[in-house]
Amino acid sequence: MARGNRAVKDAVGLGMVTGNNAERLAKLRREANQEFAQRAKRPNKPRKPLDWHVLGAELLQGLLRLAAIVALPFVVLVRGSVFFYEYGNVPVWLALAVSALLTVGLVTLYASSLLRKFKGRPRFLVLAKWVALPLVVFYCGFSLLYLSEVNAKAGEVRAYYTKVHPLLRLALSTWILVDDRLVVTDMRRAREDYAKMGLPVNETSLHYAQADGWVHAVDLRISNRGWFRNRLLQLYFWAMGFNTLRHVGTADHLHVDLR
């Protein structure tokens, strides 16, 4: 009898639980149906047509921002060196070293910002020592010592590359990264070279070796290169602090010098 009573009680309890679950399910169904009904009554918002002008402007802004980020270290290195050399009244190697250190700091900030989302990223000084410093030193050394045969009118011109002022070499090599077809037509000259070219002697030419031992001018080919490319070339050297003059000697060319 006792077992039978317990069985009856268990059955009754199970029925109550099942009944409660059924009521809950029914209530959830009613709430879901009401929600669907309310959503169905809401008017659908029309999709806005894609504005290609806005999209193009945003894309252009993004590209310009990216170009500025990439160009900034080179601007700091080249323009900074010329600025310290001209207005700081310091030796060329000191001006270059100061700008190189500033560039190392900037490149380190770039590397640190790229790695900030990674756990266990290297410390700032570690990035400066093993990433930024080797990059800047290698780039400066490459720019100061090497000029490709493609970028020199003749072997004789290329042979005089290390006689050119270091800051002018640095600026020239940096632009070649953008325009690898640039050709240097002349660097160092002697007074007798003017007679060979059929030109009057220029006693103040910066193509001569100056008091510091460096040649302070180069000539760049601009024929058959297009107006826009040549204007960009001239604008670049002007922005970096150099003097530019387009004139015709033996041929149409852009004269760039550092006074």
Assigned fold of 149-259: Muramoyl-pentapeptide Carboxypeptidase; domain 2 (3.30.1380)
- Residue ranges per structural domain of the chain: 60-145, 149-259
CA-nearest of 224, 95, 228, 108 to 171 is 95
**pLDDT score, position 41:** 65
**pLDDT score, position 17:** 47
Task: Give percent of the chain with pLDDT exceeding 90.
Answer: 56
**pLDDT score, position 52:** 72
Mean pLDDT of 17-21: 59
More confident residue, 31 or 12: 31
User: Which tokens is 182 given?
Assistant: 């640039």
Q: What is the pLDDT of residues 73-128, one digit of tens each?
A: 999 999 999 999 999 889 999 999 999 999 999 999 999 998 887 777 788 899 99
Looking at 5-9, 33-37, 131-135, which range is the least confident one?
Answer: 5-9
pLDDT tier at 178, thresholds 50, 70, 90? very high
pLDDT at 58 over 90: no
- Which helix (H) or strand (E) element contains residue 200? none
pLDDT at 14 over 50: no
**In the 8-state DSSP scheme, what is residue 118?**
S
CB 236 within 8 A of CB 243: no
CB 82 within 8 A of CB 64: no
* Cβ-proximal residues to 78 (8 Å cutoff; 6+ apart), any chain: 99, 167, 170, 171, 174, 240
- Which helix (H) or strand (E) element contains residue 219? strand 217-221
**pLDDT score, position 115:** 85
Q: What is the pLDDT of residues 136-176, one digit of tens each?
A: 999 999 999 999 999 999 999 999 999 999 999 999 999 99
User: Which tokens is 81 given?
Assistant: 């060196």
CB 125 within 8 A of CB 91: no
More confident residue, 32 or 141: 141
Mean pLDDT of 214-222: 95
CB 209 within 8 A of CB 197: no
Among left, alpha and beta (phi > 0; psi -120 to 50; other), residue 226 is left
pLDDT, mean over the chain: 85
Distance CA 76, CA 21 (A): 73
Distance CA 10, CA 42 (A): 48
